[in-house]
Structure 1
Amino acid sequence: MAVSALIALLAMDTVRQHEFHEIQKEQAAKSVADIAGRIRNDPQMLERQFRQGMILGAHLTSPGWTMHDPDPALAGYVKARLGADTPVLIRRMPASECFFDVFKRDTAAGISHSMFPDCWYVQLTDTKGAVHLFAVDLLPERPMGVLFGPPYIELIILAGALLGIIAARIATAPLRRMESAARTFSLIADVEPIPVTGPSEVKATLATFNIMQQRVREALRERTQILASITHDLQTPLTRLRLRLEQVEPEELRERLIDDLSATLRMVREGLDLASSSETREPWSVVDIDSILSSLAEDSIDLGRDVRFTKGAGVQARVKPGALARCLGNLTDNAIKYAGAAELASYRDGKELVVAVMDRGPAMSDEEIAIAFQPFSRLSRQAGGTGIGLSIARAQAETFGARITLQRRNGGGLIAQVRLPLVLLQFD
């Protein structure tokens, strides 16, 4: 953009010079026409005025000058004003020759030779055949390179660079929104569509991205609906099967069959919970994390479970409250199931807020931690159940942009950490 500005300025200066030369020729031609009129009216008066230096813009030439290499284009331009039959010869002369008497001596204080204009040397023949020699001054021309030296060149480059940065940021703003939306969509499936603004190519990209988001959301909803329908349809024959099993003899076999059927029903329901846990339309809200942990501990104590809230961070976060509560509830249930007690805490860790659920239960190996979030995984800590509690907790956390990690606790036990990014937090 800076180069474009310089090229445009050069073109503008070229046009300006052309227009200035046209004005210069016009003014010089007027001067020649004025002197020609004075010659016709009173040549003696003109001679006295020339010798006394009383005519501004015209003066006599050196007696030793001779007309050589006249410019026919200039002569034709002047003849258009004087008449085609007027004999006139013209050539341009530099200031050093035109103002010969001034350049022979020192100029006045503060005046340099560069301040004198060039001139036309004119040879005019009047109607009586007399030849008149004189010079007409040209308008002084500003040097061409003024706008291409310091500080103008630096200002042009700086202005071009700033304008380029501003234009680039404006043009790429929709792309940055799409980048942010894509990052958010990788964590949260129900983000809002991106406003389709910007250049035509960017609009097409944003519109395509919105269509992609919409189709992915529809696919998730369709999957959940299909699983819900299958679960609903399975419950009826499984219920009939349970009624028939009630009539099976002997009693020991009947109890074993009923337990297997109950486990099957539980797996079907929890499988549906897992499928629907990543697709939720719950609205976002700003909540106090410590209040949620304190309420969870109090509710658990009311149910006779050993759950304590030990440390708070004093932070509010923009989350989906129901999904967060269910996520923490599943983690707390796992801790109680395997350790009989749980401790809740929240604290800052770099650019994240950590909501921790800690227990003193059996330890887990690195291999088990690596596969702990896989659905229906069987671990050494497993104490019944279907093995999808952690999978559901992770899916719920991902609906509001959080992630869950597991690590061994010093002194034994496990720490489940729900990590919320800084962008979701609001500090007191």
Structure 2
Amino acid sequence: MKCLGASLPRPLSFLRPRSLMGQMMWAVAVALLLVQGLGAALVYRAQRESYEHGMLNAAAMSLLTERPGGSRPTLMRGRPFGPPLGGPPPRRFRLESNAALPVAAAERRDRDAEEELRAILAEQSFAIERIEVVHRTIGADPVARSGVAFHARVRDMPPDMIHDMMAQHLLVVAVKPQGQSDWLIARVRSPRAERILLGPLILQTLMIYIVLFGAVALILRRITRPLAALTRRVERFAASPDVIGQLPPSGPEDMRHLIVAHNAMEQRIASMLDEKDVMLGAIGHDLKTPLTALRVRIESVEDEGERRRMAGTIEDIVRTLDDILSLARVGRPSDPRERTEVSALVASVVEEYEDMGEPVDLGDTRRIVAELRPTWLRRALRNLIGNALRYGQRAQVTLRREGALAVVEIEDDGPGIPDDQIGAMMDPFIRGDPSRNSATGGAGLGLCLARAIADQHGGALILKNRRDGDGQVVGLTARLEIPAAV
């Protein structure tokens, strides 16, 4: 037989990563981030290479068609051609010929682009001696800046648009043909590849997240809602097996089967508990009747000492039987909870012992109200105070509030309990060492019943040895915690 009132698991919370829905969403988010990040990186790399290749082809086209001897020899020495009046801003500036290299020594050259452009020109039989490729903004290039400024004046563009154009990306290609002293400079204007490619990739990722998260959330909601309802039902049934009705099946087919199986198990447990109550009631009736008859019969015993011993034995049997029946019924209390002033209840129990001349002192108390079953809590306090008097010769009772708990402490001056046996002492039919229990009798159900009553109210019973400054055990403290009313 086990002591009732085991602690229940905390309810599922869908706002914490520890919940099923939270863990699933986190897993989907991390997996999607890794997959989409890898895919976006590969797509971005391929598209950027294609984009830069197109810019180099535009620059090569300018070098091949506008150089002297090309298909359209429109070369103008010393300055670029401006855009047509009223036309759009130029994407590709006209070819420039200059004796001076336009690339500064401090500028970072694009070696990969230089090799690719060299290969493109070599395929077109364009022999070059040197090639240099750099990236700039339009505002940092004097030729491109003057061309855009001219276009802005003609079009009467606003300052903010001019500023945006000056910040755009410019690819500058300087080529020195073999046998010539001048450099041919081609300029291609375009936004940086990052600005063109990253935007669509980010938008695509966000759309995938929204669609996938929405679908996963709907599926998980169909699973977690009936699971949460089942959890609440299990908690209510564990707290009070007299809960009437069954949980209607809902959710996916697997969840429906689980709920149906739980309903069947719950009904079977309730039936077994009902049978147990009937059986215990019959046992209590059938045992107490012959015990009452024995009380009458021992009156015929002439030896007074023998008669007292027999009467004491019968009383021990009756007390043990009452403890067993109380422990069996504590999990299914029939009386409802009442809003009770705990300080008054504790004081009344202490007064009972004071009226009998027992050394029980009521220490500091404060007014605390709680929802509880007074009869059961009185039984727990009597068991704890009785143990303190039996093993420690006195009892000191205090009541205080700690947060949301009403805490009753009963202290004695006894020998305490070995630390490795404190937990076992609250199990049923477990008695302590001989030095503590040799003259006390009992079946070892008092502490177990007190703990079951505390658990029944959502609280706890904690035993702890009291020690002096030298670490020696000077008594035991029984701490009874009950949730206080708000």
Normalising by structure 2, we get a TM-score of: 0.50
Correspondence for 2:425: 372
Contact kept in structure 2, 1:343 and 1:359, CA below 8 Å: no
Amino acid at match of 2:211: G
Amino acid paired to 1:341: A
Match of 2:180 in 1: none
How many pairs are equivalent? Answer: 290
Assess, with a 3 A threshold, how the Cα gap between structure 1 residues 298 and 163 changes in structure 2: closer, same or farther. farther
Q: Measure the CA separation in 1 of the matches of 2:405 and 2:200.
A: 53
Is the alpha carbon distance of 1:176 and 1:331 closer, same or farther for their aligned partners in structure 2, counting shifts above 3 Å? same
* Secondary structure at 1:149 match in 2: helix
Gaps of 5+ in 1: 4-104, 114-144
- Percent of aligned positions with the same letter in both sequences? 28
Q: How far apart are residue 199 of structure 1 and its match? A: 0.9
- TM-superposed CA distance for 1:335, in Å, is 1.9
SS in 1 for 2:436: coil
Which range moves more in the overlay, 181-190 or 366-375? 181-190
- CA drift at 1:226: 0.9
Go from structure 1 to structure 2 and tell me whether the alpha carbon gap of 1:320 and 1:257 turns closer, same or farther (over 3 Å shift).
closer
**Residue 287 of structure 2 aligns with which residue?**
234
Task: Say which one has the larger Rg.
Answer: 1
Q: How does 1:310-329 map to 2 (within 5 A)?
A: 310-311=363-364, 316-329=369-382
> 1:277–1:395: 8 Å Cα contact kept in structure 2?
yes
Secondary structure at 1:355 match in 2: strand
1:187 touches 1:398 (CA, 8 Å); kept in 2? no
Q: Distance in 1 between matches of 2:368 and 2:302?
A: 60
Match of 1:247 among 279, 282, 300: 300
Instruction: Quote the Cα distance in structure 2 between the aligned partners of 1:388 and 1:344.
Output: 24
How far is the alpha carbon of 1:414 from its aligned partner? 1.0
Q: Which moved more, 1:377-386 or 1:288-297?
A: 288-297
Counterpart of 1:163? 214
Note the C-alpha offset of 1:394.
2.0
Q: Once the 2 structures are TM-superposed, how far is the Cα of residue 408 of structure 1 from its aligned partner?
A: 0.6
CA distance in 1, matches of 2:436, 2:267: 40
1:390 aligns with 2:447: yes
Counterparts of 1:105-124 in structure 2, within 5 Å, are 109=87
Say if 1:188 and 1:401, in contact at 8 Å, map to a contact too.
no
Q: Which amino acid aligns with 1:378?
A: R
| Matching residue's letter, 1:359 | D
- The answer to whether the Cα contact below 8 Å between 1:248 and 1:254 also exists between their aligned partners in 2 is yes
Q: Distance in 2 between matches of 1:294 and 1:110?
A: 95
- By how many angstroms is 1:265 displaced? 3.1
Measured in 2, the distance between the counterparts of 1:170 and 1:190 equals 29
Which of 323, 327, 348 pairs up with 2:402? 348
Residue in 2 that maps onto 1:256: 309
CA distance in 1, matches of 2:372, 2:215: 39
CA pair 164-327 structure 1, distance change in 2 beyond 3 A: farther
In the alignment, structure 2 segments of 5+ residues that lack a partner are: 1-27, 33-82, 92-195, 469-473
Where relative contact order (Cα < 8 A, 6+ residues apart) is larger, the structure is 2
RMSD: 3.9
1:307–1:106 distance in 2 versus 1, CA, 3 Å: farther
Once the two structures are TM-superposed, the CA of residue 396 in structure 1 deviates from its matched residue by: 1.9
Question: Quick one: distance in 2 between partners of 1:312 and 1:108?
Answer: 93
The whole-number CA distance in structure 1 between the counterparts of 2:370 and 2:249 is 30
Name the structure 1 match of 2:466: 409
Q: Secondary structure at the match of 1:381?
A: helix
Indicate conservation of the 8 Å contact 1:371/1:377, yes or no: yes
- 1:268-290 deviation digits (Å, cap 9, x = unpaired): 33322232233213323454544
The 2-side partners of 1:286 and 1:197 are apart by: 36
- Residue in 2 that maps onto 1:175: 227
State the SS of the aligned residue for 2:300.
coil
| Residues 415 and 436 in structure 2, CA contact (< 8 A), matched pair in contact too | yes
Return the letter of the residue paired with 1:163. Answer: G
Give the secondary structure class of the aligned counterpart of 1:246.
helix
The alpha carbon displacement at 1:156 in A equals: 1.9
